[in-house]
Structure 1
Amino acid sequence: MQTPFKRRALVSALALVASAGLLAACGGSDDAPTDVEDTALQFDPASYTTVNVTVDGVAMKVRQYKVVYVAKPIRMAATQATLGGGTTTLADPYAYQSMVISVPEASAADQKKAVYMLVNNGGWWTSAVATTINEGQAFASTSDTDNIGAALKAGYVVANVGTRSRGARAADGSWAGKAPSPVVDTKAAIRYLRLNDARMPGSAERIVLTGTSGGGGLTAAVSASGNSADYLPYLAEIGAAGITGAGTTVASTLKDDVFAAVAYCPINNLGNADAGYEWEYSALRSDANTGALDGVAYSAGQQPAASRAIAAAFPAYLNGLGLAREDGKALTDASMREATTAQLRDEIERQIAKGTAVPQLGGSFTVTQRGTTASYPNDWLTLTGTGTSAKVAAIDYAKFLNFVTTITKLKTVVAFDAVGVTGNPAISGETNLFGSAAAEYSNFTEWSWNNNTKARDASGQDDTGQPWASYLAATSTNTLAAQIRLINPIAYLNTSADSAPYWYVRHGMIDRDTAFSMQTLLYHAIRKDPSVKEVSFKLPYLVPHSGNYDVQEAFAWIKAKLDSNP
């Protein structure tokens, strides 16, 4: 049996290979590995534990492997912060760069099975490797919320990936999870599978990458940027498989693209997420739907002015992307709401056709979230006809947004890049995903940078003496511009990167964690990419911020894509 996550074994293997001078050319699967790192990352098919579970009441044996997927993992501090302000003890110092690979016994000799790869990273937070495939666990493949049961029933290889991300603290005290670390680590895990494809069950050419919220954003960024050379220097630093050379000579012998992306409510395009959020919601904000900051009510503080200023940046960004809707019309600030409304209409009519009781104007919606059910008046949706033949006659989009924000209050201003501005007293949003390893955080949007008033935090014009554009341009002294780009799927869609050919993207109809405009934008950018063969995008009916609530639909879609590419 394998002793999990042994860095000592990796170091010994590297030393042994180096002394033997095994620097043979790489073939990526059956051939000799290309360098000492690749040799140290050889998969041992006999080194597993057996886990006994049930799927649909039937016993199943699962082979479970635990691996460190890079040759130079970063040793992490024992005490790590948790999302929300607490702390946790990290049992293994390399758990952020480790992977648990679970293989149904019946698939152990099958090298064509898909690999269902999961990233966690809620809130873009750092994520130690973990799995729910444990001794005695019961799964139900027919459940609409049990994606692991569905994956095991299908015989897929299940790969749970730990990654560094915001909040990660190395043993030396540095902030080791700064962007683009989560993308780089996920790519390194993919490369581990590609390096060992001929020795492992499953096919690394059939990876289905999936995640929710920050994990959905991570899924989108990785799936959009397949095989981009931009990540090679970062991959070289951690000893990822298939990397040769260093500096200006760094190159790759392996691929890191994926077959399909399944992204739920992806918090993506962080550099523009605040602009999109305020453009969507600024005119609707009030004390009723926006919380106080540092004891100051929304209307009495800096939030309203900040919201308007941030919103003003979105039209130029959106209009400059050159995207188009399905009808060929340009996707601009003038047509974005109409484009999102079209998605709402499609989803509501799908629900009506399958018998869902959608209320007429003046009726009430019944909404359940976090175990609580409540009714909300329908003042935004007008239907024509009755029964399963009813159609959407009109959607009042402004009233729809009010409906959403009545169910769940909006994020305060600033939603994503909050630290040091508008009276925000603590680390919140995604600000600590950015900056150098020596700094806890860095503002990553222009408004927050220019309005940071927190002294001596090394962020903003107040401390650096540089306005936003000048700081971004100073690439010899900081990497902020690269960090923002490297985690943004929009920066890689419609480029020379090998984007995943198949995408399944869902964002709940009552999810206000990011703007509907940002998801509509992502959808049309995916749809435009020449590498993409199909994108399934929906705003599921009355679904809040969540994932894996439509497992039967999602896995039927996955199976159809795999079957069409045997």
Structure 2
Amino acid sequence: MAGAVAAGGLTATGAQASPAARTTGVGRPHSLVFDKTAYTLRTAVLPSADGGTKEVTYRFYAPTTYVTDPLDAAHQSLVISVPVAIDGRKVNTERAPIVFANWVGGYFPVSVAEATGVGEGIMEMPNGQVLENNGNDTNLPKLALAAGYVVVEPGARGRTLVDGEGVYYGTAPAVIVDLKAAVRYLRANKGLVPGDTDRIVSTGTSAGGAMSALLGASGDSPLYAGHLRQLGAADASDAVFAAAAWCPITDLEHADMAYEWCWGEAQLSSTGTLVDQNLSRELRAAFAEYQASLRVDGLGGFGRLSARNYDDYLLKTYLQPAATAHLSGLSSDARSAYLADRPAIQWNGKRASFTWDAYLAHMGGRNKNVPSFDGFGLTTGENNLFGKGTVSARHFTRYGLDHDTTGLGADRLDKDIPETLALMNPMHFIRRRHAGRSRHWWIRLGTSDPHTSLTVVGNLAASLSGLGDHVNSAMYWDAGHATNRDPAAFLRWIAEVTGSPATHR
């Protein structure tokens, strides 16, 4: 790519002058050259994936802005942690894979600006609230550092950021553009950034899981070029070697229909009532058309997936194996007690079995109304995600627009919506067999997670497998949102797919 020369000599993709909305000063380009000497040596006792702890001495590189012309340097920065010794034994990170761990959740802004050590990224929620660890039940950056990997934690803009003129500057596609720019910064500094910049493994949960999947699916796509140029991103690849996604909230333009197919006949957990079944049936019918259009075969030789057989596919491929693994891990007495309270779950001594209706009853209900994502009143987080300029929220599906209750009176979606949806959806790239995608995928979801449809993970995994990619997908029985029950297995998986040992000692 042609581009302007950034401070420090590395090429940026056409950095432009800062508009008034920028929160950094005009005329203050940031260097894209990584200073490998600018670190603080830290020692901490960190949790390890085997359930114990390890004393880790590591180099901590303080927040570094990853574009030359940031809109918001407080969010467009990253931190890097590099293990030096683990339990007193030296670590060689020359060939270590890089775990690129984003803290995105709810499509809110993420910052590492105040981080003083590994695993301290925060998600910024409305009203000044912050959520450490993105609600995850594990701190994956700490676990990865304790296993000997280089860990990079990027900040990123999010949907609630507003400048002094009332302009929303973190709505779609800002978050994925920022994450891509951060990957480009790392790859442009190959040989300076510790670890193997050709072996970057992206991770994320919830909306962050969606962004991790999107990073994996869209590597080096020219569709983002203009957005990256505006920030002065490095002229380097933004492809990642592998992508891991926990409970990804993605495929948003089809999420309402998928949600109704999955949870339409389940009661709202907050009220114990059914949602409007006329709306639910309409969306379920739309899902049947969408699923047929994918022309995707299920894992394990299941055959073509459709709205008619997807429940059977989920039972056989994910739900019953998850229940079997859970019950097999219980003591005989604990298993008997569990099954006594759940007579719809059958156990033959080796495997669990149950019907789809029994699973829905076991689940306990849905946690979103209808529609779940493109709200008729423009009240959802996803409506805000597709806001633009001084408009805080917009419809992004024809169904949502046709049922609008705000009285705005629009008769068509805004012209930029289709392109923006494509930039935010990994399925857009997967369906087109995008050549720059990752070839290694780790995908997980809890079976008690009604934040989106189970078919979102099902289609993501099946579509990638159909392209010949290496896909490791599974569900955790009785696990809710943002759950990671097998971090040790994940860290071993990184070693397997990258060809590097899990601990570089």
State the TM bucket, normalised to the shorter chain. 0.7 to 0.9
Does residue 226 (structure 1) correspond to residue 209 (structure 2)? The answer is no
Offset at 1:405? 2.4
Residue 67 of structure 1: SS of its match in structure 2?
strand
- State the AA in 2 paired with 1:255: S
Q: Which of 277, 282, 292 pairs up with 1:309?
A: 282
CA distance in 2, matches of 1:348, 1:358: 17
- Could you say if the C-alpha distance between residues 305 and 359 of structure 1 is closer, same or farther in structure 2, counting changes exceeding 3 Å? farther
User: TM-score scaled to structure 1, two decimals?
Assistant: 0.74
CA distance in 2, matches of 1:43, 1:34: 14
Q: Which of 255, 260, 264 pairs up with 1:278?
A: 260
Please say which of residues 185-194 and 550-559 is displaced more in the overlay.
550-559
Does residue 134 (structure 1) correspond to residue 117 (structure 2)? The answer is yes
Q: Which of 414, 417, 425 pairs up with 2:371?
A: 414
- Could you say if the C-alpha distance between residues 59 and 451 of structure 1 is closer, same or farther in structure 2, counting changes exceeding 3 Å? closer
Aligned to 1:210: 203
Aligned to 1:514: 452
- Could you say if the C-alpha distance between residues 279 and 154 of structure 1 is closer, same or farther in structure 2, counting changes exceeding 3 Å? same
1:98·1:163 contact (CA, 8 Å) conserved in 2?
A: yes
The sequence identity of aligned pairs, in percent, is 27
CA distance in 2, matches of 1:104, 1:116: 12
1:498-552 Cα offsets, whole Å, 9 max, x none, are: 221111111011111111122211111121124x2x1111111211112333221
1:418·1:429 contact (CA, 8 Å) conserved in 2?
A: no
Does residue 550 (structure 1) correspond to residue 486 (structure 2)? The answer is yes
Aligned to 2:362: 403
- Listed as ranges, the gaps of 5+ residues in structure 2 are 16-28, 47-52, 121-136
Offset at 1:281? 1.6
Does residue 320 (structure 1) correspond to residue 296 (structure 2)? The answer is no
Number of aligned pairs?
Answer: 456
- State the AA in 1 paired with 2:292: N
Matches within 5 A, 1:147-296: 147-242=140-235, 254-285=236-267, 289-291=268-270
Offset at 1:166? 1.5
User: TM-score scaled to structure 2, two decimals?
Assistant: 0.82
CA distance in 1, matches of 2:255, 2:80: 34
CA distance in 2, matches of 1:565, 1:320: 41
Offset at 1:180? 1.3
1:228-278 Cα offsets, whole Å, 9 max, x none, are: 111111111111111xxxxxxxxxxx2111111121111111111111001
2:66·2:233 contact (CA, 8 Å) conserved in 1?
A: yes
Please say which of residues 189-198 and 432-441 is displaced more in the overlay.
432-441
Offset at 1:379? 3.8
Aligned to 1:98: 77
Aligned to 1:54: 45
- Could you say if the C-alpha distance between residues 307 and 130 of structure 1 is closer, same or farther in structure 2, counting changes exceeding 3 Å? farther
Offset at 1:40? 2.7
Aligned to 1:433: 385
Q: Which of 411, 420, 423 pairs up with 1:486?
A: 423
1:144-179 Cα offsets, whole Å, 9 max, x none, are: 945333312222111111111211223443111121
CA distance in 1, matches of 2:165, 2:396: 25
Offset at 1:493? 1.1
Does residue 527 (structure 1) correspond to residue 465 (structure 2)? The answer is yes
CA distance in 2, matches of 1:417, 1:358: 46
* CA-atom RMSD in angstroms: 3.0
CA distance in 2, matches of 1:480, 1:109: 47
Offset at 1:283? 2.4
- Could you say if the C-alpha distance between residues 110 and 518 of structure 1 is closer, same or farther in structure 2, counting changes exceeding 3 Å? closer
Aligned to 1:73: 70
1:167-200 Cα offsets, whole Å, 9 max, x none, are: 1223443111121111111111000000011211
CA distance in 2, matches of 1:163, 1:356: 45
1:183·1:218 contact (CA, 8 Å) conserved in 2?
A: yes
- Listed as ranges, the gaps of 5+ residues in structure 1 are 1-12, 23-31, 76-93, 138-143, 243-253, 366-375, 422-426, 457-461, 473-477
Q: Which of 17, 34, 44 pairs up with 1:43?
A: 34
- State the AA in 2 paired with 1:396: T
Aligned to 1:381: 345
- State the AA in 2 paired with 1:479: D
- Could you say if the C-alpha distance between residues 118 and 53 of structure 1 is closer, same or farther in structure 2, counting changes exceeding 3 Å? same
- Could you say if the C-alpha distance between residues 356 and 480 of structure 1 is closer, same or farther in structure 2, counting changes exceeding 3 Å? farther
2:93·2:149 contact (CA, 8 Å) conserved in 1?
A: no
- State the AA in 2 paired with 1:430: E
- State the AA in 2 paired with 1:482: E
CA distance in 1, matches of 2:320, 2:474: 10
Offset at 1:340? 0.5
Please say which of residues 52-61 and 155-164 is displaced more in the overlay.
52-61
CA distance in 1, matches of 2:446, 2:455: 13
- State the AA in 1 paired with 2:105: G
Residue 95 of structure 1: SS of its match in structure 2?
coil
Does residue 445 (structure 1) correspond to residue 397 (structure 2)? The answer is yes
Aligned to 1:504: 442
- Could you say if the C-alpha distance between residues 174 and 358 of structure 1 is closer, same or farther in structure 2, counting changes exceeding 3 Å? farther
Q: Which has the larger radius of gyration?
A: 1
CA distance in 2, matches of 1:66, 1:130: 6
- State the AA in 1 paired with 2:259: Y
CA distance in 2, matches of 1:53, 1:560: 27
- State the AA in 2 paired with 1:96: H
1:280·1:516 contact (CA, 8 Å) conserved in 2?
A: yes
CA distance in 1, matches of 2:103, 2:487: 17
- Could you say if the C-alpha distance between residues 541 and 303 of structure 1 is closer, same or farther in structure 2, counting changes exceeding 3 Å? same
1:175·1:438 contact (CA, 8 Å) conserved in 2?
A: yes
Residue 281 of structure 2: SS of its match in structure 1?
helix
Aligned to 2:313: 339
CA distance in 1, matches of 2:491, 2:499: 12
1:51·1:64 contact (CA, 8 Å) conserved in 2?
A: no
- State the AA in 1 paired with 2:111: A
1:264·1:507 contact (CA, 8 Å) conserved in 2?
A: yes
Residue 110 of structure 2: SS of its match in structure 1?
coil
Aligned to 1:80: none
Residue 115 of structure 1: SS of its match in structure 2?
strand
CA distance in 2, matches of 1:166, 1:240: 21
CA distance in 1, matches of 2:376, 2:80: 37
- Larger relative contact order (C-alpha < 8 A, sep ≥ 6)? 2
- Could you say if the C-alpha distance between residues 265 and 34 of structure 1 is closer, same or farther in structure 2, counting changes exceeding 3 Å? closer
CA distance in 1, matches of 2:449, 2:179: 26
Please say which of residues 61-70 and 505-514 is displaced more in the overlay.
61-70
Offset at 1:353? 4.6
